[in-house]
Each structure stands twice: as C-alpha cells, then as structure tokens.
Structure 1
Amino acid sequence: MELRKGLEDIAVKETSITYIDGELGRLYYRGYSIFDLAEFSNFEETAYLIWYGKLPNREELSEIREKLASKRELPPSVTKYLMEIKKDSNPMDVLRTAVSMLGVEDTDNSSIMEKSISITSKIPTIIAYFLRLRRGEDIVHPDESLSHAENFYYMVNGKRPSDLESKAMNAALILHMDHEMNASTFACLVVASTLSDIYSSVVAGISALKGPLHGGANSEALKQFMEIGDKEKAEEYVLSKLTKGERLMGFGHRIYKTYDPRAKILKGYAEGITKEKGIYNLYEVAQKVEEVGVKYLGSKGIYPNVDFYSGLVFYSLGFDADMFPTIFASARVVGWTAHVMEYLRNNRLIRPKAIYVGEIGRKYVPIDDRQ
C-alpha cells in the first residue's frame, strides 16, 4: 500500500464547482474565470452560481438576495452568547461555537440548500457583533436594504461603504468562496459523508480553517508589513528571513507554481483602498516585499498567494487582524456547502486506511509485574 502523506494528489470526488490550473495561474467557478467574476459579479450572484451551477436571471438573483437578507438576524440565545463570551476569545473559536448553536436552534425540516443560505447569511452577523462588542461598541443590526457585502461592512463599521469599499468587499468575498479540495472543504466532506447535519459539517470546516497552515496566513502577512514599516527596509527584511530559512508570509502555494490569480486581483484593490484610507505606505511595503520575494523565490515556483494582499484589504475595510480567518470562513461557507451537496448526491463514507508499523503479538504483563 502506497503512503501519501497529507493525501497529496489523491482525488476523493469529481466536481463541477471549481477548476484550478496551478501551472498557468487560473481559477474558474463553474467554468467562469475568477477575473470576470471579481470584476463584474457580486456576492449573491456568485454564491448562486456556486450553489446552483448557473448564473441567475434577474428573478432568481432577486430571490437569492431576499433570502440572504431576510435570514441575517441571530437567535436571541446566540446574541446573548456573543455578549457574554470573553472579549479576548479567539474569533474562530467564537464563530465555531456560534454556528454550532445555530444548529441547536434550527429545528425545522428545510433542505440543505435552505440551511446553507441561512448559515451563510448569519455568519457575517456573528462576526460583526463579536467584533463590535469586544471593542466596547453597540452592535449594529442588519439592514435588509443593503447587499450582502455592503451589510457586512455596515454592521462592522456603523456606516455604509463607499463605492470602492463595496467593490473591494464583494471581490474579496468572491475570491475566497471556493478553492476546490482544500483542508477545510475535505473536513466538511468527511463529516457529511457520515450523513451528519450541515451545521456539523460547517463547524468542521471552521475548525480546520482556524489552523495557521490554512486560514491564518493573511493576518501574518499584514503583521509582516507592519513590522517592516518602511519600504526601504523591505529588502533587508526579506533577505534576513530567507537566510535564516524562515517562511515569507503570503508566499507559496501547494497548487500554484506561478502567481495566484486571486493575489493579482486583490493587489489592485489593496492599492486603491489603502490610498483611500491613508495607509498607502503599507501597500508600498507589500509591493517591495513582493518584488524582492519574487526575485529570489520565483525561480522555485514560489509566488504571492491570496493571503499576501487580502490582509491589507480586510484591514482597510475595518477588520482587526485576528478576525481575518473569520471573514475567510464567511465566504468559504458557500464552497463548503456546495461541495457537501455535490458529494451527497453520490455519497460514500470517507474511511481511509493507515499503514500499521507497530509490533504484533506483544504479551500482556500484569500491572504488578511491570517495571
């Protein structure tokens, strides 16, 4: 039996949701280029595409917008939990527990699709409420007249976004919606394959995304830029990291051997929105780190990934660095639930093998005779 650590290059299902070309740096949702979706689409339309397999017509788009908008508010028990939880709690722990509580509160028999829409609409509310409460601010209740991305920004900042902020928020969420069979998506499928419920699957995805090897790199990349502080110090910083054999945060990806297309898109938004927010110096630092990093690592197929510029965008939109993985989850829940529904159409319990390397036939020794 061949051992493939990390299940690298092992396929567990067929999918029509997402296609990645790691050699050429291309990403497609349901056959549509991520460049087109980030430029022309919005959260609701792209979520519909991923869930239903096609772009919606006007009536379908209006219906999904209304459904998402109408399900944003939380059950009183979940809001009470957010008010009482320790304010220094890990945001991903808070989100994981809150989503689990949503599952307890949900006692109806609606479809997995309807539950997926409900979870997707409520996760931004959980994030925004906790963020404001721990800052000592009053919570801002959802506004059904706003789009999904606009309302998310509004609940965090207490004001409506500018056109650029709205566009950046939509693009960032779209770019994080799905990425084929990553660790958190696989975690969701393992749970779903047992015929457990969708809330349990999403909780598994959040738990996997919490890990620093998966969902936490964007906050580390931002901290890196803040630590450098000045673009003139960037080259020395990068060379010092590489000389010590340390990782340059936001660089490298298991699949992409060239620029991550999501990083290319987010770079443009990072430039514009940092200018608007008066923190353009952080973008200049990031740009210089990219330049030096590519110079020394590009020949090895190591380039900026989605985390490199996403932290700058999220920070400019009013989010604290340790909240970034929760924003990632708020978008990726669309992909998680879509993959679960796709897998369950031809379900098989996920039950891999392990290669035993221990001893056989050891003699049991009574406890009084053991050394």
Structure 2
Amino acid sequence: MSLGLDDVIAAETVLSHVDGEAGRLIIRGHDLETLAGRASYEQVAALLWTGFAPDSGEGTAAALGRARVAAFGLVAPVLQGAGDLTPVEVLRLLLAALPDASPVPGHHLVTGAMPVFAAAAIRRSQGQGPVAPDAALGQAADFLRMVRGRPATPAEVSALDTYLVTVVDHGLNASTFAARVVAATAAGMVSSVVAGLCALKGPLHGGAPGPVLDMLDAIGSADRAADWLAAALDRGERLMGFGHRVYRVRDPRADVLKAVAAGLRGGANRIRLAEAVEQAALDVLATRKRSRPLQTNVEFYTALVLEALGLPRAAFTPVFAVGRVAGWAAHVLEQEQTGRLIRPQSRYVGPMPRQAA
C-alpha cells in the first residue's frame, strides 16, 4: 500500500508529464522551457484544450476576453455578502457563484472568470472596488490592470504571462486530482474547478511563495544567510522554496522564473539576496539532508516575481489559480471523456465487531 498514493497510476493523460528524476516538465508534447516566455498563456491554454472541446471559431484570446466580461456581472452582488473573508476565500465564493448553465463554454468561463474574481478579491482586501475587464487585452495584461486600476508595462505583462504559463499544468498534483475526482461524478466544470481551488488553498500545496518572502525578510542580508538557515534546520523548520514531492533534482520551473525575476524592476529587487540565500540553502541542505535531495522548487522564484510585480502576499495563491485554471479545465474535459467514476479502495484498520458467543 502507498500512503499518499505515491507512484500509484490514477489516470492516463495527454496533458502533462512530470519527470522527477530528470527534472523535466512536458506540456502536451512540449518541454516547458520551449513554451514559457515564447508562447502566450492563451496559446498554451488552447494547446491543452485541443481535442477536448469544439473550436469556437473566435480564437482563444477573444473567447477568454468575452468570458471575463460575462463573469464580471457576478462580482458586485456576491461581494456584498463576503464579510471578512480573505482573498482566496473571496475567490472561492465568487467561483461557486458561476452558473452551471451558461452560454459561455465551461472551460472558457472558469478560465476567464478566474483573473476577474482574483483581481476583485485582491482589491477588496485593500479597500478598493472592482475594476471591469477589458476584453481586448490578454489574460496577464487585463489581470494586472484590474488589480492596479491602470495598465501594466509590457515587461510586467510579459513577466506575468511567463509565470502563468509556467504553472498552467503539472501532472496529477493534489488540486488537479481533486478536480478530476469531482469531474468523474459528472458534477460539471464549475464544481470541479472549485474543488481544485479548495485543494490549492491548503498550505501544503501552492502556499509557500509568501513564506519564502517571510524567510528573506528574516535573513535580511546575504552575510546572515548561512547561519540563519542552519539555525532554522536546528529548530526542525522547513526551508521554504526547497524540496518537492516529485522532483529529485532542480524544479525546471525555478530557472524560468529566476530569469524572469532578474529582469523585473531593472534588477532593482531582491534577486541578489535571493541568489545568495538559494546557494546557502543548497549548501546546508546538501550537508544536513544527505538522504533526501532537496533542490530549489518553483515557489522560491515565484515569490520574487510576484513581489516585483507589486502583488501582496495574500494574493499569491489566487494568482497561482489564475495560471493553473486552464490546466484544471483541461483535466476536467479529459476526465469527462472517460465516463468513469474514480472510486479507490481503502484498507480498514479499525476495530472489528465482537463475534456473538
């Protein structure tokens, strides 16, 4: 038996493959490095959806722009009852308000709605009202504009677009598996994507970029890195941004995002501190954790990218969802084609009833 379902094959997919031994991520037949920074988020979403949904004929970018506009009508009435919810909780509430019956195809609806809802949730946490989408823009450009209330620079749009592509899909991770389990019940696209977001909300899946910045704050300067990291390990703490459930070598997404981070703010960000902390962490982990390879993961440089874009730490999980939603939608479409309910077995280890004499 494999606790946590390690190495258990639960689905066959054409969407993505994570090779943890080689440090390779394949997205629909393409290495991640050939897509990130070269193909737009809309192009990669279309690649994932090819063969699972009919072509609308208007192009993916236009379809998602139209879906963003359709979703915005839900924002104001739903936010009235949001109370003291955090940004990710507000995002969950807004997604749950999407109708199952919509003239907008489900994969377009959830993917277009995610940046609208995430931006509204972020602005609400800052005491600001929502900004209406611009259907003529791409996902990355419109998201930044809706968060800030003003257009982003081309460099910022390119950086966010690359990030969204980098996290668009990643095998059968916890949130994707949750989405597929719900899709297998024929519950529909919206319910499946809400399930994916609920799994992503957990701090063990997608929740480390914010704590990476907390760690950099605490270290403060490169000369303190080695001692601080060693002391953290002495206290039994995890070093945030290092280690991965699947990768046994460096996460290929880390280098993509490191290059993106280095170019933001003209390099006038914390990239030099981050590089020093990364090297010190790899050195101390190689010495102290010899039995388990712990390399840099996607969340380490994600933190630098999102910080340089001026996004608050409480927004990091919603921004992750803005990227991952196209992958969730693709897996839902793929799962729906199988028509098979996901129903694993468990092994009972509790007490048995006493036999009658």
| Contact 2:240 2:300 (C-alpha < 8 Å) held by counterparts | yes
Post-superposition CA distance 1:100-138 (Å, at most 9, x none): 1113xx43476xxx2111111111111111222231234
- What is the aligned length? 349
In structure 1, the partner of 2:13 is 15
Correspondence for 1:331 among 311, 323, 326: 323
Q: CA RMSD for the aligned pairs?
A: 2.1
Correspondence for 1:306 among 290, 295, 298: 298
Correspondence for 1:148 among 118, 139, 150: 139
Deviation at 1:163, TM superposition (A): 2.1
Distance of aligned partners of 1:117 and 1:109 in 2 relative to their CA distance in 1, 3 Å threshold: closer
- One-letter amino acid of the structure 2 residue matched with residue 91 of structure 1: P
Distance 2:37 2:189 in 1: 31
In structure 2, the partner of 1:367 is none
Tell whether 2:23 aligns with 1:25. Answer: yes
Correspondence for 2:274 among 286, 290, 315: 286
Unpaired segments of 5 or more residues in structure 2? none
Tell whether 2:65 aligns with 1:69. Answer: yes
Deviation at 1:274, TM superposition (A): 4.5
Correspondence for 2:179 among 170, 184, 188: 188
Taking only the aligned residue pairs, the percentage that are identical comes to 38
- One-letter amino acid of the structure 1 residue matched with residue 276 of structure 2: K
Tell whether 2:223 aligns with 1:225. Answer: no
Distance 1:355 1:138 in 2: 50
| Aligned ranges 1:78-93 → 2 under 5 Å | 78-86=75-83, 88-93=84-89
1:259 is paired with a residue whose SS is coil
- One-letter amino acid of the structure 1 residue matched with residue 68 of structure 2: R
1:233 is paired with a residue whose SS is helix
2:25 is paired with a residue whose SS is strand
In structure 2, the partner of 1:107 is 101
In structure 2, the partner of 1:317 is 309
Distance 2:202 2:265 in 1: 28
1:248 is paired with a residue whose SS is coil
1:352 is paired with a residue whose SS is coil
Deviation at 1:83, TM superposition (A): 4.6
| Contact 1:235 1:288 (C-alpha < 8 Å) held by counterparts | no
Distance 1:108 1:134 in 2: 29
| Contact 1:274 1:312 (C-alpha < 8 Å) held by counterparts | no
Post-superposition CA distance 1:340-365 (Å, at most 9, x none): 1112212221111111122222489x
TM-score by length of 1: 0.89
Distance 2:213 2:241 in 1: 9
In structure 1, the partner of 2:225 is 234
- One-letter amino acid of the structure 2 residue matched with residue 314 of structure 1: L
Structure 1 runs, 4 residues or longer, greater than 3 Å off: 75-78
